[in-house]
Structure 1
Amino acid sequence: MSSDLKSVLGAKVRAAREGASLSQEQLAERINRTPETVSNIERGKNMPAIETLQALCSTLGLRLSELFADEDLGRNADRVAREHSLIQTLRTLSESDLEVAEKTIHALANRTQR
């Protein structure tokens, strides 16, 4: 198993956990695993079993497909985590706030492309 895949998956799990304001211990308890297991997943040391992946997705409000997005492979795991954290936050916004966020992000993107 590619260490890149494990690192990106771990970064996404960490971002989702932090976005949910959960400690590793709290997440471990909710998915019936040890805090060490959660830590190893987040650090890209271990690839979790499918049952653990399902529990993580259910608990953190993720889709399994998000964890394995091909476009994230080969990219910096910290950047992937930040982007994923933003996506999780965007999902919590009202329609009007989402529109404001969209305009702000587009303005920032256009500013940096100049």
Structure 2
Amino acid sequence: MVMELGQQIGRKIRTLRERRGLTQSQLASLLGKSGETISNFERGKVVTSIQTLDQMAKVLNVRLMDFFDGVAVGAADRQHRAERARSSHAQTVRNAADLLPEEDLEILAGLATLLESRRRREGGKGE
């Protein structure tokens, strides 16, 4: 099961803080927060604002994006990326159809027919 976003970012905060050699109390002091607040961030009990993450990135001498490295994306994000990739692939095929000579178009059409036939046999997977 994928961890909640707040928990994933909280783990990153802890890792980056520890890498810098700071305690929760020290980081809290540098950010003008309480130690309890930092603890809540790190445990994913409270999700920090982007402004606080930006401030934290400066204190820890890391990039803002470092808090998101390796953070799993949700199903909606994966679906959106898949749709964009599919759209990109469809555009590539359309461009090829405009540019290819007739004999290559015949091969492309045969391949498309073969793939469509396979998709139907497999029960419409990939839709």
The alignment's TM-score, normalised by the length of structure 2, stands at: 0.51
1:73, 1:30 → 2: CA distance? 29
Which ranges of 4 or more aligned residues in structure 1 deviate by more than 4 Å?
none
Shift of 1:51: 2.1
Per the alignment, residue 40 of structure 2 pairs with 40
SS class of match (1:72): coil
Name the amino acid aligned to 1:57: A
1:67, 1:21 → 2: CA distance? 17
Instruction: Determine whether 1:66 maps to 2:48.
Output: no
RMSD: 1.9
Conservation of the 8 A alpha-carbon contact between 1:31 and 1:55? yes
Mean Cα deviation higher: 3-12 or 29-38? 3-12
Shift of 1:3: 6.0
Conservation of the 8 A alpha-carbon contact between 1:3 and 1:44? no
Q: Which has the larger radius of gyration?
A: 2
Conservation of the 8 A alpha-carbon contact between 2:9 and 2:71? no
Name the amino acid aligned to 2:46: N
Per the alignment, residue 56 of structure 1 pairs with 56
Structure 1: give runs of 5+ residues left out of the alignment: 75-114
The total of aligned residue pairs comes to: 72
Matches within 5 A, 1:81-96: none
Per the alignment, residue 21 of structure 2 pairs with 21
Higher relative contact order (CA 8 A, sep 6+): 1
Name the amino acid aligned to 2:72: L
1:3, 1:33 → 2: CA distance? 25
